A and B are shown apart, each in its own frame.
Chain A
Amino acid sequence: MKQIMGYSDKISVRPGEAIRFMVSCEKASSYKARLVRIIHGDTNPEGPGYKEQAVKSEFDGTYKGRKQAIFAGSCAVIPSHPAFDKLSSFSVQAMVWPTTPEKGRQTILSHCDAKSGAGFIFGLDESGGLALALSDGTGKTEEVRAGKPMLSREWYFVAASYNAVSGEVCLYQKPMVPYAKVDTSARVEGTVTIKPRNENGAPVVIAAHPVRMSDGRERTSAHYNGKIDRPILASRVLSRLEMEQLRSGGPPASLHAALVGLWDFSKEITTERIIDVSPNRHHGETLNLPARAMTGWNWTGEEMCWKHKPEQYGAIHFHDDDLYDAGWDTDFTFTVPAGLRSGLYAAHVATEDDEDFIPFVVKPERGKATSKLVFVVPTASYMAYANEHMATDATLAELLTGRLATLQATDVFLHEHREYGYSCYDTHADGSGVCYSSRLRPILTMRPKYQSWLGGKGSSLWQMNADTHITDWLEALKFDYDCITDEDLHFEGYEAIAPYRVFMTSTHHEYWSKQMWDALDAFKKAGGRLIYAGANAWYWRIAYHQTKPGVIEVRRAEGGIRAWAAEPGEYYHSFTGEYGGLWRRQGLAPQKMAGTGFSAQGFDLSSYYRRTKDSFDSRASFIFEGVGKDELIGNFGLIGGGAAGLEVDRADRLLGTPPNALVLASSENHTPVYMVVLEEILINAPGLCGGESDLVRADLVFYETPSGGAVFATSSIAWAGSLSHNNYDNNVSRITANVVKRFLDERPF
């Protein structure tokens, strides 16, 4: 069981900047913290072994341990206001699309005191039917129920009114699509004797209601799963006709006086704000990033982009497991001293029986590169995979790897502690895809020493820890390098990489925003040299939130290998309005960036490359210096036993591989666990596995660019796992070093 873990407020800092660390201990009363430079996170005894460099820092020392909890679940909060407290008779209504009506009590809209419960809760009861609960704050509650459970993933009009004079309550539960013999509609009239006390100073909360915890802090409870569209609160009993009039369009003037709030979620979709379009302007904010730009109850299917018909995108999809910011208290802060060498670092925190590494990148001072080579740490990809649960949640895990899913203590912890949030490879508890991922929480899969079920037989590394095969090799061969992150590339653009001659990717640089793409494109056009040291890069288009730090969005639109599929009409990012999905489907296949692009995947064993005729072209002679003409390339390695494996790319002129590209070598002999990527399959037919399809291969590619630069692509995630073989003396290391040396040489190609 994990005993200690933490996260930082930033992932990339330069000298002079401060980074805060938040730590939680399960039981320990104290822990030690120190700064380490991460060199090689792979503990495999077949390789060079774990390597770090301790660096003295201002935060080295012993700290008091304490448990810090995470409260997942999204909602929207409208701050308290006298207008809410004055409610006597009232009406509440919304359009809802519940996704787990069977789950138990879920709040649609509430105005109730966190401690006493005084006020009302409008939501679903244990049976999944509509209910209005009224409480006077003395412990007395009365409830009127529709008495029929709603169907999952169906739109309903739901409403309730309360008459403070007569005590009469009316409930309406009306499905938008009627079915024969399954009637889930209800109209219930009841009378209550209780006088609900709305004079409680409470906020209006949508998709949850406030509760007071034992530590005195206020949290939210009874989180609702599903979509809510156009919630409305009125200060008198509305007739059914008046409710209908409010369901769409601008509210009629005759109802202005009755409206307390009409929240139109189609406004300011890119933000966390929710807008009250009633004359009262009681605006609010969402918490924990529920999904926006979701199709509403009135979506017709004729428009796919929310920017074009925002009025049909008035829904927010709330989840009881959404998480943006864990919100832990700070344990210690580190101000990066001048002169600290750029690289991959971590705050190492340890109790007597456990440890955690909180990784971050130290970049050089602005505009002061300290090397000609920059290794770009793919933090967006790390976030997309953050805390993924596929090995415990997805049936296909063992099929993909061709062996038993192998879990670490971390995976077991994440399985049991779902509040640590999901990756963009997971689904929410209600089955909908996770389209946002934040780094403001412990990301326990982004750690040195962590092994992943997905990382091939052998070292079994994926993403960050696999990338330490590259940092280790750069250190071992004494190549100078600076590190920056995806966030630097996104927010600073070309400026972040302009000082460098060589841009080196990680093993799996999969997620790219438009800003990142444009920065690298500009770098290449200016003569920069690109070493693509992995595979399946430039695959998914992402968006960073425009104002909230540390969160990305992925929409699994239309094609590609997808852990879930975005719903129809929900392919456009809510953060930016940009079309989501594969870069390839937007006319920018990876072959256009690096000459190769994703072609096949399998996660058991890796294979080797065989040289082709192109490798003997004089233009490529510098690459193969010291490599025999008949040598198999990379028939060894820590990731699956070979340099070609896990995910592999191929050159394809029709997808954008330049006509001058040399395909120097291709891999072969992959196992039948390898399969061709889905975007290549138009009509499914047998013959798509390793050993059957020519598309199951990695192509080693080199080409020159028109401005004197060049590109070298290894086309395999496993490549870096072979670099250290035989004490770094092997043909994968030799080829990579030959390329680095020539690419650092300013002579134009």
Chain B
Amino acid sequence: MYQIRPEDKACIEEFRKTPIGHHSPNLQRILNLFRGEPMAGKFALICTRPHREWTLAVLSGTRGERIRMTEEVFHSLEEAEWYVFKQRWAKYTGEHLSD
């Protein structure tokens, strides 16, 4: 599994600017790590108002077992991506990114 390196911090700003779309190889490698997490405990979005509102949820990874809705609500997909990126960055590096 890829281990995030100190020099990968340069990818944070790149992600913040373009969370969905073309990425540098370094950022893509980090995203492959983040987005390839197992299903139990994995973040997902639940659309709560079509095209307008999405609520962060945590997948159970077990068939039939409830998906947990969080209180985090977003009004753009980019906003949601940045929030989850920060959570995952902290999980893998211990570093908490500010907004």
Seen from chain A, the residues whose Cβ lies within 8 Å of a Cβ on chain B are 43-46, 389, 391-396, 398-399, 402-409, 412, 415-418, 429, 449, 451, 457, 604-605, 671-672, 691
Contacts and interface: CB of A to CB of B under 8 A. Distances in A.
A402 B47 contact: no
A43 B50 contact: yes
B38 A451 contact: no
A403 B44 contact: no
Interface stretch (B5-13, B77-85, B89-97): B77-85
A604 B78 CA distance: 13
B81 A403 contact: yes
Contact of A407 (B37, B57, B77): B57
A453 to B, nearest CB: 8
B47 A451 contact: yes
Interface string B67-86: 10000000001001100100
B63 A415 contact: yes
B32 A44 contact: no
B20 A408 contact: no
Given A391-B44, A392-B44, A404-B44, 15 more contacts: A395-B36, A399-B35, A402-B21, A403-B19, A403-B20, A404-B43, A404-B84, A406-B45, A407-B44, A407-B46, A407-B67, A415-B64, A418-B63, A451-B47, A672-B28
Interface residues of B, number: 34
Given A392-B67, A404-B45, A415-B63, A604 B39 contact: no
A672 B51 contact: no
Nearest to B46: A407
Nearest to A405: B44
Nearest to B50: A43
B77 A406 contact: yes
B23 A672 contact: yes
Contacts of A415: 63-64, 67
Of all A-B residue pairs in the complex, the 6 with the closest CB atoms, nearest first, are A398-B35, A405-B44, A406-B45, A403-B20, A399-B35, A407-B46
B39 A403 contact: no
Q: Give the interface centre of B37, B44, B67 by most chain A CB atoms within 10 Å.
A: B44
Interface of B: 19-23, 25, 28, 31-32, 35-39, 42-47, 50-51, 54, 57, 59, 63-67, 77, 80-81, 84
A399 B36 contact: yes
Contacts of A412: 46, 67
B51 A43 contact: yes
A605 B20 contact: yes
B40 to A, nearest CB: 10
Given A407-B45, A407-B47, A393 B64 contact: no
Nearest to A406: B45
Contact of A44 (B45, B51, B63, B66): B51
Nearest to B25: A672
A671 B43 CA distance: 23
A604 B77 CA distance: 12
B53 to A, nearest CB: 11
A393 B66 CA distance: 13
B77 A671 contact: no
Contact of A392 (B21, B28, B39): B39
Contacts of B67: 392, 407, 412, 415-416
A671 B46 contact: no
Nearest to B54: A406
A395 B45 contact: no
Nearest to B52: A45
A402 B66 contact: no
B28 to A, nearest CB: 5
B37 A395 contact: yes
A691 to B, nearest CB: 8
A404 B23 contact: no
A646 B42 CA distance: 24
Contacts of B25: 672
Contacts of B42: 398
B23 A408 contact: no
A393 B54 CA distance: 20
A417 B46 CA distance: 17
Contact of B59 (A392, A402, A409, A451): A392
B51 to A, nearest CB: 6
23 contacts: A44-B51, A395-B36, A395-B39, A398-B36, A399-B32, A402-B35, A403-B81, A404-B80, A404-B84, A406-B44, A406-B45, A406-B46, A406-B54, A406-B77, A407-B44, A407-B47, A407-B67, A416-B67, A429-B63, A449-B50, A671-B23, A672-B25, A691-B22
A408 B47 CA distance: 5
A45 B80 CA distance: 20
B64 A416 contact: yes
Contacts of B28: 672
